[in-house]
Amino acid sequence: MKSTNNLKLSKEDVKLLNSKLGLRSLFSNKKIDVAKTLREVRYEKQLLERQIELVKLQTWAIENDKKIVIVFEGRDAAGKGGAIRRLAAHINPRYYRVIALNKPTEEEQGQWYFQRYVNELPAPGKIVFFDRSWYNRAVVEPVNGFCTPNQYDIFMDQVNEFEKMIVQSNTYLIKFYFSISKEEQQKRFDDIKKSNLKRWKMSAVDERAQELWDDYTKYKQLMFEKTDTPHAPWVIIEANKKPEARLAAMDHVLKTIPYKI
């Protein structure tokens, strides 16, 4: 059977197109695009399958007092927030938190750098998603002059031991880095600026991201070299395509944490 786009459709394709989701996607635009609809429906189906497993994972964590920390790092507009929203979409909101800390207060600036992150670590049975984390000091702060060279050096000397302490406290720690190209970042910035609903997302730091691309690359590579450890390895997610990046992150979480229901 052939569609209007000259695609050969399998029985499974026809079933997907005739589903509630498929029909809604198919007729949502004036121009019918069968190939695009199939991509969208397959993605939504795969997403739901993984979200069901994440509910099981959370139930296991609650019942067994497991603590889970998932760190999301990456360049501005890399899709970290969107990935977190998909991972957390159907799990119990009473047992997880999304942490995106603001600029430290004057009091926090006088504390041990990691202190405010320690305060956000999960209790037994809880999951914490960090939308950016202590790794601000590894990349964003030195690139933008928000910390001194000495503060950067101290952080790099301490971070691996800090993470070892987290893991040794019976906590699962996953570190994602969402990687996008310079061209894709610019495209996403342009889309954000054009949108009345998303324009607020652009910060002063975002405005300089393209200009400082090579500086970010330098510090990112140093971060990988010095903080990719056996107890807390980096997981690089190719994120130019958001759907694939979200599914890849979910797959890694489900594969890494040994939940059993």
- Give the pLDDT score at 29: 67
Give this prediction's pTM. Answer: 0.90
Give tens-digit pLDDT for 224-252: 999 999 999 999 999 999 999 999 999 99
67-74 sheet: strands from edge to edge:
96-99, 127-131, 67-74, 171-179, 234-238
* DSSP H helical ranges for 93-178: 106-109, 115-118, 140-144, 149-168
- Give the pLDDT score at 22: 67
Residue 96: DSSP 8-state: E
Residue 197: DSSP 8-state: T
Give tens-digit pLDDT for 52-80: 999 999 999 999 999 999 999 999 999 99
- Give the pLDDT score at 3: 43
Pick the CATH number of 64-256 from 3.40.50.300, 3.40.190.10, 3.10.180.10, 3.30.310.50: 3.40.50.300
Q: Which of 148, 151, 143, 149 is nearest to 216 (CA)?
A: 143
At 168, the amino acid letter reads: Q
- Burial (0-12, 13-18, 19+ Cβ within 10 Å), 230: exposed
Q: Which residues of the chain have pLDDT under 50?
A: 1-5
The whole-angstrom separation of Cα 22 and Cα 4 is 16
Domain ranges for the chain, please list them. 64-256
CB count in 10 Å sphere of residue 222: 15
What are phi and psi for residue 20, nearest 5 degrees? -55, -45
- Give the pLDDT score at 1: 36
Q: Which of 247, 179, 252, 240 is nearest to 43 (CA)?
A: 247
